[in-house]
Amino acid sequence: MTLELPTVLIIPSGIGCSLGGFAGDAIPSARLLASASGCLITHPNVMNGASIYWSDPRIHYVEGYGLDHFLAGEFVLRPVRTQQVGLLFDAGLEQELRARHLQVADACKASLGLNIGPVVTTDVPIDIRLHQATSGSSWGEIGQAEALLKAGNKLIEAGATAIAVVTRFPDVVEEGLLDAYRQGKGIDICAGAEAVISHLLTKFLCVPCAHAPALSSLPLQEALDPRIAGEELGHTFLPCVLVGLSRAPDLLRFNQEDLPSTFKSSELLCVDQVGAVIAPEGALGSEPVLTCLERKIPLIVVSNPNVLNVSSKLIELKGDKTKNKMKVFHANNYLEAAGLILSLRDGININSLYRPISNILEIS
């Protein structure tokens, strides 16, 4: 029996990735990579499709801050059978929007059997502000971060082991941005702010977190890009978040030097078990990618156009020919990446699959 090859899939949010920059359009690739690796660790941006979701025990749903610190060796992941998902509501939600989100939670409890509750509302509106950087990527600000953390702490004290947070996002954005996104030509202007919110909660509460923006319904537009159609199906983006968090692994802090050997059992995942990291070309300046290179974890760079330009050429990644023997492979798409994962998992020399093939190096 072939052993699993725990693999980390990174598709950053808010940078307009052609695949993974919309509403759950990276889920098919994640499913394929989970099948190839036997164990895929990825973040909500990859798996969240608004009203569309996919549950797979081979896929571990880990918030971006938690994923960064997992790869840095500061967290281990403990898979669980279920999480008690607390709901954190922004006081800025209008009554109808709040009711719609509560109905989604009730539906997920009744129809999917998820453990959801309790519900806590912030003392004051969170005040989210959306921005776009000069690079073209989205980012955001939280006006009332303390209120957000206070509500999160209340949920933990009440027994929640994971947090789904719903905040009121501005309906008005820069002219043309929303239309471009709905046509599959722009970035998700909400994604950067969403990451700020979930990062903050994960950093200070150390529990699985994910965010669903609350927005007014948009008028019907028939000619939509299929990649964003999942966002048009319902009144909220909450279903995928509740499903993802329902079996998200626990985040355990540790000092790697003092880590007991039992923590490396099959019941726990640590960075030393990671066999590969997959990231888009152009988005290679992130902390997890650089950490992966430092740890000599094989990096698979996939062609996936986005607004960033931190390419493998720019940071001089030249496969395993570098003096530090970094293992860097390139794939034109996630189908090819899955083939590379299968090769690594079965211990096949990837260079033996290409032609021409070089002779074995002889050292004098």
DSSP-based three-state secondary structure for 227: helix
Q: Distance (Å, rounded) from C-alpha 295 to C-alpha 297?
A: 5
pLDDT of residue 323 exceeding 50: no
- Characterize the bridge pairing of strands 250-253 and 75-78: antiparallel
Q: Distance (Å, rounded) from C-alpha 206 to C-alpha 108?
A: 24
Q: Which two tokens stand for residue 179?
A: 């239309």
Alpha helix locations (H) across the chain?
27-37, 44-47, 64-71, 95-112, 145-157, 177-182, 191-205, 238-246, 287-294, 334-345
Q: Distance (Å, rounded) from C-alpha 341 to C-alpha 286?
A: 21
Q: Which residue has the tokens 């008005």?
A: 172
The H or E element spanning position 127 is none
**Average pLDDT score over residue span 24-35:** 97
Q: Distance (Å, rounded) from C-alpha 113 to C-alpha 154?
A: 24
Q: What is the pLDDT of residue 91?
A: 96
- Using one digit for the tens of pLDDT, what is the confidence trace for 325-359? 568 999 999 999 999 999 999 999 998 998 999 89
How sure is the predictor about 255, in pLDDT bands with cuts at 50, 70 and 90? low
CB distance 22 to 212 below 8 Å: no
Q: Distance (Å, rounded) from C-alpha 189 to C-alpha 13?
A: 10
CATH class name, domain 7-77+251-353: alpha beta
Question: How far from 344 is each of 2, 176, 276, CA to CA, in Å?
Answer: 11, 44, 8
Task: Confirm or reject CATH 3.40.50 for domain 85-246, answering yes or no.
Answer: yes
- Using one digit for the tens of pLDDT, what is the confidence trace for 39-64? 999 999 999 999 999 999 999 999 99
CB distance 152 to 144 below 8 Å: no
- Using one digit for the tens of pLDDT, what is the confidence trace for 96-146? 999 999 999 999 999 999 999 999 999 999 999 988 888 878 888 899 999
CATH topology match: 7-77+251-353 vs 85-246: yes
At position 320, the amino acid (one-letter code) is D
Q: Domain ranges in the chain?
A: 7-77+251-353, 85-246
Q: Which two tokens stand for residue 211?
A: 């965010």
Q: Distance (Å, rounded) from C-alpha 184 to C-alpha 177?
A: 11
List Cβ neighbours of 297 (8 Å cut-off, separation of 6 or more): 271, 274, 275, 276, 277, 327
Sheet architecture: strand order including 59-61: 59-61, 40-42, 7-9, 276-280, 299-302, 328-331
DSSP-based three-state secondary structure for 122: coil
- Using one digit for the tens of pLDDT, what is the confidence trace for 1-27? 578 999 999 999 989 999 999 889 999
Q: What is the pLDDT of residue 143?
A: 93
Task: Give the whole-number percent of the chain exceeding pLDDT 90.
Answer: 65
Q: Distance (Å, rounded) from C-alpha 327 to C-alpha 322?
A: 9
Q: Distance (Å, rounded) from C-alpha 318 to C-alpha 303?
A: 16
Q: Distance (Å, rounded) from C-alpha 247 to C-alpha 46?
A: 16
Q: How far is CA 76 from the centre of its chain?
A: 17
CB distance 121 to 138 below 8 Å: no
Q: How far is CA 288 from the centre of its chain?
A: 12
